[in-house]
Amino acid sequence: MTETVYTVTGMTCQHCVASVTEEVTKIEGVQDVKVDLPTGSVTVVSAAELSDDAIRAAIDEAGYELASR
């Protein structure tokens, strides 16, 4: 199991959290997603290491920007 923390910019409310969680959860292998709105951190627990491109695409689809890992 792998846990990776990303920083996402542009989230301002619980709807933002729900959108990011929904899109990242769709990635194959993702087991859990925890979003901390005040810090913008998104913790992703997965069966194996995920591609940063897959995470970036999911965050983009939700309407936000991946700032860093």
CATH number at residue 20: 3.30.70.100
Q: Stretch 9-31: mean pLDDT, rounded?
A: 97
Q: How many domains does the chain have?
A: 1
Q: Is 1 exposed, middle or buried (0-12, 13-18, 19+ CB in 10 A)?
A: exposed
Confidence of residue 69 (pLDDT cuts 50, 70, 90): low
* 13 contacts 33 by C-beta, under 8 angstroms: no
Q: Report the predicted TM-score, pTM, of the whole model to 2 decimal places.
A: 0.92
pLDDT, residue 20, reads 98
What is the average pLDDT score of the chain? 96
Range of the domain at 61: 2-68
- Whether residue 5 is predicted with pLDDT greater than 90 in this model: the reply is yes
pLDDT of 55 strictly over 90: yes
